[in-house]
Structure 1
Amino acid sequence: MRIALVAHDKKKEDMIDFAKRYKDILAKHELYGTGTTGKLINEEVGLPVTRFLSGPLGGDQQIGAKLAQGEMDMIIFLRDPLTPQPHEPDISALLRLCDVHCIPLATNLGTAEVLMRSLKDREY
């Protein structure tokens, strides 16, 4: 599967911890990420991540484009719901595209863990 990993600034440590916990599962898939999140996962977890721009600079839109073209299978986007984001319209567009194209989307750790557990027993 092609999985995008995105995390707002205050959620980046959560994403790193998540990626470490599920490294064995994530390693079996193609990983994509926005700028800093992808870099951190690569450097701190050791997983290869194809990186896009940072979210505010268009990375969310790049992931959305891949999704709309049928080139993304799952999104894990650890959002910070308590901090205003300057690129909120881009975030909303990405979430809407997930709904339009029936792409599994996790916006918090609880849902992300459910998605990882669903992948654990499946072969892709």
Structure 2
Amino acid sequence: MKIFTIIASISAALCVALGAFGAHVLEGRIPERYIDTWQKAVQYQMFHTVGLFLVALFATKWPNVTPVGWFMLVGIVLFSGSLYVLSLTQIKILGAITPIGGVSFIIAWLLLAYTAIKHM
């Protein structure tokens, strides 16, 4: 699926830019714990960006793998996105969104396993 290759490519570029922003712009401007939160968001975004590339690759053989990619994308937006906003605003209630993104990641990986088993 071309769409996941495009989304993953943009997400990977964003990971590099957001990681650099956190290290060079935010350092010293926000509390250290929020720098750590920012870096965790970048890390999880990159892990799941690689997952999106895998979905794009597997889609050539497994057409029903598409939901996996959408769950990963939702996870990136909700998990990493909420952590980015939390780091910048320090509004702690935003952390309540993060687990929803985490559940989306878990669903994505379990769906990928199910899809692989189905196509053995």
Larger Rg belongs to: 2
Which has a greater percent of strand?
A: 1
Which has a greater percent of helix?
A: 2
TM-score after normalising by structure 1? 0.30
TM-score after normalising by structure 2? 0.31
